[in-house]
């Protein structure tokens, strides 16, 4: 998010890092290893050009992107994007995320997202975050519910993904919701 970057938090098993140019080789290898995990839900950057575009977006003032890295091995475990951040009376944005094999399914995404949400509400001072998930994306639905997101409603033909306009379920979390949560 521009130049006013703050120190990033660390949890029991993982920490957050800003994506850097030097991450490219490891990032593209992690995406290539995780294609079956991501399809058909997300198309993560999988070429040098796509990674450069991701970095450029991550440095825009209306976006914050994190890599999640494991404390023990430093391996990349996933990516979190807060995109289209609007300040003023809205103080809100959209959440995107994906995990990387082999770290997936170990609770690292859950811990990394909790760290990122704490940073989002408590350090950046934002008020609301929205997550839109396809109705049959069971793992992502489970993850946002575990993080305390509230169900807001059904959005027909919401996003163009994998060649078609896909229905989504809309979830949101406010700073007040987050403050009252008892996460792990």
Q: Quick one: 75 or 110, whose CB is closer to ligand COA?
A: 110
Q: Which H or E run contains 14?
A: strand 14-17
By CB under 6 A, tell whether 140 contacts ligand COA: yes
Chosen residue from 86, 142, 164, 181 binding ligand COA by CB under 6 A: 142
Smaller CB separation from ligand COA, 6 or 33: 33
At 38, phi and psi to the nearest 5? -80, -35
d(CA 65, CA 1): 8
Task: State which of residues 11, 18, 28, 38 lies at the interface with ligand COA (CB under 6 A).
Answer: 38
Q: How far apart are CA 132 and CA 96, in angstroms?
A: 8
Q: Looking at beta carbons only, is 87 or 106 nearer to ligand COA?
A: 106
Q: Which two tokens stand for residue 52?
A: 């450069």
- Please list every residue from 82 through 121 that binds ligand COA, using CB under 6 A: 97-99, 104-110
């Amino acid at each position: 998010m521009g130049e006013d970057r703050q120190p990033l938090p660390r949890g029991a098993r993982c920490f957050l890092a800003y994506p850097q140019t030097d991450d490219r080789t490891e990032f593209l290898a992690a995406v290539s290893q995780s294609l079956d995990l991501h399809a058909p839900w997300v198309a993560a950057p999988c070429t040098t050009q796509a990674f450069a575009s991701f970095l450029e977006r991550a440095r825009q003032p209306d976006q914050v992107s994190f890599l999640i890295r494991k404390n023990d091995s430093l391996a990349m475990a996933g990516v979190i994007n807060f995109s289209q951040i609007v300040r003023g009376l809205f103080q809100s944005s959209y959440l995107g995320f994906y995990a990387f094999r082999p770290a997936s399914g170990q609770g690292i995404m859950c811990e990394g997202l909790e760290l990122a949400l704490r940073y989002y509400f408590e350090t950046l001072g934002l008020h609301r975050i929205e997550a839109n998930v396809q109705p049959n994306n069971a793992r992502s639905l489970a993850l946002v519910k575990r993080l305390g997101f509230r169900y807001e409603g059904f959005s027909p033909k919401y996003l163009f993904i994998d060649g078609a306009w896909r229905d989504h379920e809309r979830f949101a979390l406010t700073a007040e919701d987050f403050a009252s949560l008892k996460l792990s």
